[in-house]
Structure 1
Amino acid sequence: MACLLFFAAPVSAQPDDACNNFWYCVSELNPGLVAPEAQLDRETPRATMESLISAARRSDWESAAHLLDLSEIPEEDQAQRGAMLARQLETVISRKTVINWDDIQDRPDALVADGSSDRPQSGEPRKSLLLWTLHLDRYPASVRLNRIKPDDGDPVWVFSRQTVENVPALYELYGPGRFEKMLPPALKTQATFGLMWWEFLGLPFLLALAFAIGRLVWIAVEWLSNRTHQPLTRDILRSIRGPASIGGATFLALVVVSELFVFSGQINTILSPMAWTGVVGSILWLVVNSVEVVLDRFTNFDNTDLTQRQQDHKRMTATRIAAARRAFVVGVILVGGGLILTQTNVFENLGLTILGAAGALTLILGFAARRVLGNIMSSMQIALNQSAQIGDRIVYKDRLCHVERINFTYVQLLDWDGTRLVVPVEEFASTHFENWTMKEPQMLRTIKLKCANEADVDALRDAFDRILTELDAEELGDLDRAFVRVANQDVFGKDVWFALPCADPNTSWDLACEAREKIIAAAAKIAEDRGIDVFPSVTPGEAA
């Protein structure tokens, strides 16, 4: 007896295990409907979807009702309401979803036999399959297939009872709008590519109308900017012409696709996110342009020479404003991306596909944008550590320059001869340079001359002291720091260095050139008066 119980226990547990792992068990499925036709195939998820499409083409909604789990509907109402719910569900699916047929398996257990290890259900039978997710007013609604087995029948795939419960609300939200219902029946027939005639003809008209609205908005804003007498208002209006026109065009498209007409899933899946992207992007673009105009108006340094030593505070302010602009733009981009993702559910429904390719996509985008991202981060780094400020006098790769602008991806340098250097920010931040303005603007310029060994250094020192009194006193620094030293000596002569204290690094080069001219002239006068060579007399071959 014990042996019989031992062998009977696993056998009796098999139905319960099947109900838990392979299908949902019910006593009966849709008892209020007449028996389904033999050709109605519900054995696999793909077969159920194909049966729904075939029934819709024949307008056989009575047969399509067998593809729904009507457990929550009273038995006496299942025949009438089932056909109506099947028609409404097919309308919602055709208009608001893009079914990925590769994810709908054509086998009874819906097992993904060739799936990768990244998919958690790969290699396991499934009894529920999510097709799409649609947003209702308060919560998201799933379009899902369940595998159900009645006590007196084989397991079949039908739309879940939760999906059936949400069909009326989904149809009310995503079904034909009041304007579509007013269209002639001929325009509601199928045209091509799964679209109806009104969609096939209305989409080009919608695009043309959106373009016309955008153009009208541009003209209107331009007209307002020409009529205003306030410079700030005029500049703001001119800066928002682009975002206002794009926003008007995309807002029209968004209203049409969300309130007036409900396009098929092939169009709506692309058009609706694009419209949301245009609306959100244009609003953020408008905000950025307006803020830029206001900042340019109240923090305009174009008429101020930031290279002067008296403008240290303004140099710091200009650099910080440039950094704040970059941070503001980056923040706006992040906020805009977040708003677009929250307002569209395309990525939510295609999430598995995107997640599956996320690693490769991230690598590709990261590799392609690594220089741009690196330049942006480097520009933020320069702005924060203030290694170079707008207006600073620097020596970059043996070029004497002023820092004119620190942009997102490049630094604009003004060379002393008027030419401009455009240097990628990442390269600029990773290359050492001399900053003559940093911390203390006063500096020593060293004038190096090669003099003969018999040259009188004391006479040169006296001449240098006299020259200091002839130079512009406002451009000179602390004269106690001035000195003359013999720094080196060889067979050709000795190196005499003249230390010139300069108050302003921006004029130090010109001041050093002027002092060098006077020193050379004074040395020549000393040589003439004393009959002693001041500079070495060597041939080019000896100098080499």
Structure 2
Amino acid sequence: MIRILKSLALLLIVATAGLPALAQDAVFETPALNTGLGPVPDRIDRDTPRAAMASFLRAADDEDWSAAAHLLDLGELPPSRQAAEGPRLAHHLYDVIDRKAVLDWSALLNRPDALQIQGGDTEATAGDPRRSLLLRDLPLDVAPVEIRLNRLQPEGTDQPVWVFPVETVRHVPALHEMYGPSQFELALPEAMRTKTVGGLMRWEWIGLPVLIVAAVLLGWTVHRTLRLARRHAQGRIATGILAASSKPLIIASVTGLIWWVTSNVFVFSGRIDVFLAPAIATGFVTAALLFIVSSIEALLNGLVAPGEDVDLTLAKQAESRVLATRLNAARRVLVVVVFLIGAGVVLSSADLANNLGLSLLASAGAVTIVLGFAARNVLGNIMASLQIALNQSARVGDRVVYKGELCHVERINMTFVQLRNWDSTRLIVPVEEFASETFSNWTLQDPAMLRVLKLKLDPHADIDALRRVFDEVLDHVATLEIGQNLGDLDGSSVNVAEQDIFGIEVWFSIPCADPNSSWEVACAVREKLVARAAQMERDSGTPIFASAAAAGAA
């Protein structure tokens, strides 16, 4: 037992002794570090990543660029030039970081070995000492440039330090040329470049509102110009393309102005650029994809669609109704595909996770949950709209009875169905609700149908005489203009359907060829039938209508 305990103790001592060596190995060895800069000032702390970055920012705020230069590895410069070039490079690097890098201080640990304790299996570097930390990737020419902090250990020293490596320092001039202050900004008075509230310079508080006003004016000008061009355009396709390109061109022009100004005139600091960069990427992608969708819709409407002058409610337009509904389905598929492509392009090009510094957004699962929860109603309506368009349960132009309302399906949009009532009023129904409710489609399958007039009559009424009168009324209506919508008159009938203490209920069945006009036909027949029945009552003296059951008539 004693031998086993001694063995375990020996293993523990060996493992413990190896930990410092493991941490010590997590460094980059270098022959020397900034020998041309002289002693490191007391204000510079390079022991941990957080202390090194904080020292760099404090020295920059005080414009002590000589001290800030000690945070850069100037190994590619001769020692004789380090004292002269180092402060300038430190100044330029600070300009780039201040304008384009939003620091995630949680990643800059206050440990010499930068060992990340939390994370477990979900973090690849958890539990391991690190010698290099990525702060930001910035596009430059062909490949992006990494802004990093590396842990270096010069020869002959026992204390490693955290500095910006030579791989970052060598690209500082090019980065500053692209992301540093513009010539316009450098020409401003020093007072305008002084930082004020929120860490923003005075010119930023003035330049941002000016940029917004200029973008609004440009968008308004483009809108007016396109509207004037649309008025003078000839041809349905040309007019449609101009109308379709209106919004994309407005968005593209406004986004282009903001992009050009923020790249060449007003290079805003990171606190503003963190929102502008994703907004610019979103604007360009939205304009491009919206133009594609709108142009395809305009071409489909001009080359394939039935046309605005075609009455889809007519029976002879059955094929046009199917075509219009299938075009709606194609639009929905196109919009969904374009939305997914656009979302992917925006998320990748805008680099939202790095720009915003939110580790939560870097998780694909979290993004899916957030977007799915926020857009569940919209996505539900879109999928219900696509379902209706594909299964053809309700087509554009169909006559339907929805919640007791007799309507035509006028439009099936992405999120709502537009129904036109008999009095030309519109009923707007969310697509998901419309698809989940039971409705009657009079036009589906066989368009021919029977309209039934339900009249409450006196038990002493002469049904045979009323049957003859009904046939005469149908023959008369058939000679009128509306009579062309009557079906085969052999299908007409008169039946006593019910009876109660108030009288008998007689059903007069009218064959109709077109359900879209059946209501008007039924109204015309009802009018003439009631008039003839009233005349019979006066002539014979025998009651026909039930005196106490007027409310029962339909």
TM-score by length of 1: 0.81
Question: Quick check: 433-442 or 460-469, which moved more?
Answer: 460-469
Q: After TM superposition, list the pairs within 5 Å mapping 1:24-35 onto structure 2.
A: 24=27, 26=29, 28-30=31-33, 32-33=35-36, 34-35=38-39
* Gap change, CA 1:14 and 1:280, over 3 Å in 2: closer
Q: After TM superposition, list the pairs within 5 Å mapping 1:162-173 onto structure 2.
A: 162-173=167-178
Please give the secondary structure, in 2, of the residue aligned with 1:471.
helix
Aligned residue identity for 2:525: A
Q: Confirm or deny that 1:515 pairs with 2:516.
A: no
Please give the secondary structure, in 1, of the residue aligned with 2:383.
helix
Aligned residue identity for 1:268: D
Aligned residue identity for 1:483: S
Equivalent in 109, 119, 132 of residue 105 of structure 1: 109
**Structure 1 position 41, deviation (Å):** 0.8
Would the aligned equivalents of 2:132 and 2:148 in 1 still touch at CA under 8 Å?
yes
**Structure 1 position 147, deviation (Å):** 3.0
Equivalent in 275, 283, 286 of residue 278 of structure 1: 283
TM-superposition CA deviations, 1:348-375 (whole Å, max 9, x none): 4446434378777765654454333322
- Counterparts of 1:231 and 1:517, CA distance in 2: 44
Q: After TM superposition, list the pairs within 5 Å mapping 1:136-175 onto structure 2.
A: 136-150=140-154, 152-175=157-180
Match of residue 438 from structure 1: 444
Aligned residue identity for 1:250: T
Equivalent in 462, 473, 477 of residue 487 of structure 2: 477
Please give the secondary structure, in 2, of the residue aligned with 1:101.
coil
Equivalent in 19, 22, 29 of residue 17 of structure 1: 22
Match of residue 429 from structure 2: 423
TM-superposition CA deviations, 1:235-255 (whole Å, max 9, x none): 654665554344333312212
Match of residue 507 from structure 2: 497
Q: Confirm or deny that 1:398 pairs with 2:408.
A: no
Would the aligned equivalents of 1:257 and 1:272 in 2 still touch at CA under 8 Å?
no
Would the aligned equivalents of 1:191 and 1:200 in 2 still touch at CA under 8 Å?
no
Match of residue 3 from structure 2: none
**Structure 1 position 323, deviation (Å):** 3.5
Match of residue 318 from structure 2: 312
Q: After TM superposition, list the pairs within 5 Å mapping 1:217-232 onto structure 2.
A: 217-222=222-227, 224-225=229-230
Equivalent in 236, 251, 271 of residue 266 of structure 1: 271
- Counterparts of 2:472 and 2:446, CA distance in 1: 27
Q: Confirm or deny that 1:128 pairs with 2:132.
A: yes
**Structure 1 position 132, deviation (Å):** 1.9
Please give the secondary structure, in 1, of the residue aligned with 2:393.
coil
Aligned residue identity for 2:515: P
- Counterparts of 1:229 and 1:25, CA distance in 2: 70
- Counterparts of 2:209 and 2:165, CA distance in 1: 38
TM-score by length of 2: 0.80
Match of residue 96 from structure 1: 100
Question: Quick check: 223-232 or 51-60, which moved more?
Answer: 223-232
* Gap change, CA 1:135 and 1:279, over 3 Å in 2: same
* Gap change, CA 1:509 and 1:134, over 3 Å in 2: same
Would the aligned equivalents of 2:360 and 2:366 in 1 still touch at CA under 8 Å?
no
Question: Identity of counterpart residues, as a percentage?
Answer: 46
Please give the secondary structure, in 2, of the residue aligned with 1:505.
coil
Aligned residue identity for 2:522: A
Aligned residue identity for 1:254: W
Please give the secondary structure, in 2, of the residue aligned with 1:153.
coil
* Gap change, CA 1:221 and 1:321, over 3 Å in 2: same
Q: After TM superposition, list the pairs within 5 Å mapping 1:201-212 onto structure 2.
A: 201-212=206-217
- Counterparts of 1:539 and 1:30, CA distance in 2: 106
Would the aligned equivalents of 2:43 and 2:55 in 1 still touch at CA under 8 Å?
no
TM-superposition CA deviations, 1:309-359 (whole Å, max 9, x none): 112122223333333344444444444433433432343444643437877
Structure 2: gaps of 5 or more residues? 1-5
Aligned residue identity for 1:170: L
* Gap change, CA 1:12 and 1:288, over 3 Å in 2: closer
Aligned residue identity for 1:515: V
Alignment root-mean-square deviation, CA = 4.3
Equivalent in 346, 349, 353 of residue 347 of structure 1: 353
Report the number of matched residues: 539
- Counterparts of 1:422 and 1:162, CA distance in 2: 62
- Counterparts of 2:467 and 2:42, CA distance in 1: 116
**Structure 1 position 103, deviation (Å):** 4.1
Match of residue 344 from structure 2: 338
Match of residue 417 from structure 2: 411
- Counterparts of 1:520 and 1:462, CA distance in 2: 14
Question: Quick check: 214-223 or 501-510, which moved more?
Answer: 214-223
**Structure 1 position 531, deviation (Å):** 7.6
- Counterparts of 1:491 and 1:26, CA distance in 2: 108
- Counterparts of 2:174 and 2:425, CA distance in 1: 67
- Counterparts of 1:215 and 1:482, CA distance in 2: 63
Would the aligned equivalents of 1:69 and 1:160 in 2 still touch at CA under 8 Å?
yes
Would the aligned equivalents of 1:96 and 1:265 in 2 still touch at CA under 8 Å?
yes
Would the aligned equivalents of 1:190 and 1:197 in 2 still touch at CA under 8 Å?
yes
- Counterparts of 1:527 and 1:249, CA distance in 2: 76
Would the aligned equivalents of 1:214 and 1:247 in 2 still touch at CA under 8 Å?
no
Would the aligned equivalents of 1:32 and 1:79 in 2 still touch at CA under 8 Å?
no
Aligned residue identity for 2:404: D
Would the aligned equivalents of 2:34 and 2:70 in 1 still touch at CA under 8 Å?
no
**Structure 1 position 410, deviation (Å):** 2.1
- Counterparts of 1:449 and 1:224, CA distance in 2: 60
Would the aligned equivalents of 1:19 and 1:25 in 2 still touch at CA under 8 Å?
no
* Gap change, CA 1:154 and 1:440, over 3 Å in 2: same
- Counterparts of 1:382 and 1:480, CA distance in 2: 36
